[in-house]
Amino acid sequence: MATFIVQGRFSADAIKGLIAKPEDRREAAEKLCTACGGKLKDYYVTTGANDFLLIIEADDGEAAVVASMVAAASGAVSNMTTTRAWTSQEFKRMAERAGEAAGAYKPPG
């Protein structure tokens, strides 16, 4: 399973709705992720450039992108970004592979 980090902002209408009727949006996000073929690992409300951060596991990036498209199309969120994340162990394996392949590359010039 691959890990994806999805971040975005709530729309003004979504914030108005949350003020009028406060709710935990994790369940809605979890249902959407499952329907799109992924699994919601964590859901955070954040400060700064983004209002929320989700950590999703899926077989490939399509599930995270599809979920982001559905959420954005609702008008409740905007400025969605999806980032592929690797564990430090996964990155170590990639660095090892890069070391093995390094001799096959000749830089320009």
Which residues in the chain land under pLDDT 50?
Answer: none
What pLDDT was estimated at residue 60? 87
Cβ-contact 33, 40 below 8 angstroms: yes
Bridge-based pairing of strands 77-85 and 2-10 is antiparallel
Q: What whole-number distance in Å separates Cα of residue 64 and Cα of residue 78?
A: 15
The number of CA neighbours under 13 Å toward the Cβ of 3 is: 12
What pLDDT was estimated at residue 45? 97
Cβ-contact 8, 71 below 8 angstroms: yes
> Would you give the distance in Å from CA 20 to the centre of its chain?
27
What pLDDT was estimated at residue 27? 96
Domains of the chain: 2-103 (3.30.70.920)
pTM: 0.86
What pLDDT was estimated at residue 61? 85
Residue closest to 63 by CA, chosen among 75, 54, 50: 54
